[in-house]
Amino acid sequence: MQFFLDNIDLFRDAFLNTLGLTFFAGVLALVLGTVLAGMRVSPIAPLRGLATTYVEIFRNTPLTVVFFFVIFGLPQIDTVLPFFAGAVVAVGTYTAAFVAEAIRSGINSVAPGQAEAARALGLTFSQTLTTVVLPQAFRTVVPPLGSVLIAMAKNTSIAAGFSISEVSSLLARLTNADPNDLLFILLGVVLAYMVITVPAAIALNRIEHRVAILR
């Protein structure tokens, strides 16, 4: 326990890093994922193809491999990112594929009459999508989108393998300690993740109930 208290600063910094990584990667994933979902239903074929390819590739690649490409691949096209930004890009682009799939399934679940009515009113494709279909789609996909984002918060732990100062890497760094201390550290790490994931799950549940639409 004493050991744990001695390292509380390390712990706090690591926790904040995890939180920051989760936040920025989440924003990137949501924005990119929404754009990709829009592209997948757009009338323009190359955009559809591009988005489909993106989703298929990222969904079938392990996040660790994505990390490798960001860290070793991007420099080959002369783009060197700082570590934190690299982690945000890796986690964000990976999660974006899952976000896109979730939102697309939401778009598919909006009643066809909605889009038909929007078209009958003379709205263009982008107006139909952004003002009629997407707002309803977002409401129906709160649960799957939520589990995607919670999974992403847990996925930030992969950054540990690439030695960003992050909660899990802290665990790896402190492993030479006494077994009893280790147990406390482990419990601390578990608790730190739960502090992020459990309230997120509760909040999502609330949001789900608030925005649910009856059909």
Cα–Cα distance measured from residue 144 to residue 15, given in angstroms and rounded to the nearest whole number: 25
Cα–Cα distance measured from residue 167 to residue 174, given in angstroms and rounded to the nearest whole number: 11
34 vs 95, beta carbon nearer another protein: 95
CB of residue 139 vs another protein: minimum separation in angstroms? Answer: 14
6 vs 116, beta carbon nearer another protein: 116
CB of residue 12 vs another protein: minimum separation in angstroms? Answer: 18
Residue type for position 182:
L
Cα–Cα distance measured from residue 34 to residue 36, given in angstroms and rounded to the nearest whole number: 5
67 vs 88, beta carbon nearer another protein: 67
Q: Which of 38, 169, 156 is nearest to 94 (CA)?
A: 156
CB of residue 9 vs another protein: minimum separation in angstroms? Answer: 21
Q: What are phi and psi of 178, to 5 degrees?
A: -60, 145
CB of residue 52 vs another protein: minimum separation in angstroms? Answer: 11
Cα–Cα distance measured from residue 205 to residue 158, given in angstroms and rounded to the nearest whole number: 26
CB of residue 114 vs another protein: minimum separation in angstroms? Answer: 8
Indicate the burial class of 80 (C-beta count within 10 angstroms; 0-12, 13-18, 19 or more): exposed
Cα–Cα distance measured from residue 27 to residue 37, given in angstroms and rounded to the nearest whole number: 15
CB of residue 84 vs another protein: minimum separation in angstroms? Answer: 18
31 vs 195, beta carbon nearer another protein: 195
25 vs 141, beta carbon nearer another protein: 141
- Work out the number of other CB atoms within 10 angstroms of the CB of residue 144: 16
88 vs 106, beta carbon nearer another protein: 106
Give the CA distances from residue 34 to residues 41, 60, 68, in Å, rounded to whole numbers and listed in that order.
11, 19, 25
